[in-house]
Amino acid sequence: MGGVILGLPMAERADDRDGLRLDRLHVPLGPALPDWPAGLVVHTELQGDVVQRASVESLVPPSPSRPAFWSEPWLRSAAGAPVTVGEAARRRCAAHLDSVGRFLAVAGWRDPAAAAHRVRDQVLGDAPVVDIRSRLRPLTRRVRTSWTLRRLTSGVGTLSSEQAQRYGVTGPALLADGDAYGRLLVWLEEIDRAADACDDTSPLDAHALNGPRGRIAPEAPASRALLDVLPALLEGTEFACARLVVASLDPDLDELAPQHAHSGHAHG
C-alpha cells in the first residue's frame, strides 16, 4: 500500500492501538467547515475510525488590523482605557454564547444553536439585562436538562486540571476539570454570571485580565494553550467525536496574532 494515484495519496498500513494492521489515512479537518474555528486546520492520522495522531496548523494572518474581538475590552483596560465591568461582562457572555452555539450545532442541535446565537447578538446589541435573562432561561434550562446531549458529549475529550495546568491552559477548560460536557456546563455558568453584570457601570480592574478563553497575556495567549493540548485530546478519540472535542475548546485563533492593546473604542 502507499504511493500516489492521480495526485492523491493512497492509504498505508501501520499497527493500530490494538496491534492490528489497518489502513492509515491522513485526513485534514478545516479550515473551511461550518461552526469551525476560523483559520484552524487539524491534520489527523486515522486507522479505522480512531485518531492515532493529530497536529494543528494556524492560518491566521501574522498582523491583524485590530485586536482579537472577544479579548478586546481587557486589552483596552490593560492599555489604560476606561472599561466598565458591564462592557467586559457583555463580551464574555456573548463569547460563551457564541461557543455554546458552535458546540450545539456540531452536536446536531441546530435550533438551540441558532437560539444561542440570537441571544449573543442581543447581548452585543446592548439589550437590557431583563430581556437577556428572559431569553437565556429557556435555552440554558433545555441544554442542562437534556440527557441525550449529556450522553452524546460525556467522556469526550477529557482534560483533567492537572493536564490543563501542564499545558498552560486557563479559563473554562481548566475550571471544567473534565470532558466536553463539563466544559459546556462551565460556559453556561459563566454566561449566567456575566448576564447579571451586563449593566454594571463600575470600572473594570485593569489587573483582572481573564477573558473568555482564559488569561489575557499577549505573549502567551489562552488559545495557544488550547491548541497545544488539542492533539493530546484527539489522539485515541473516535473520528466522529473529533469535531466535538474542538468545539468544546473553541480556540480563538485571532488571539495568536500580535495583540496591540490600544485605548480606542471597540470595533463592531
pLDDT band at 6 (very low <50, low <70, confident <90, very high): very low
Whose cell is 479559563? That residue is 171
- pLDDT by residue (tens digit) across 150-203? 999 999 999 999 999 999 999 999 999 999 999 999 999 999 999 999 999 999
Q: Quick check: 144 and 188 in contact, CB under 8 A?
A: yes
pLDDT digits (tens, 9 = 90+) for 74-84: 999 998 999 99
The pTM (predicted TM-score) of the whole model is: 0.88
Instruction: Please write the tens of the pLDDT for every residue from 50-69.
Output: 999 999 999 876 665 578 99
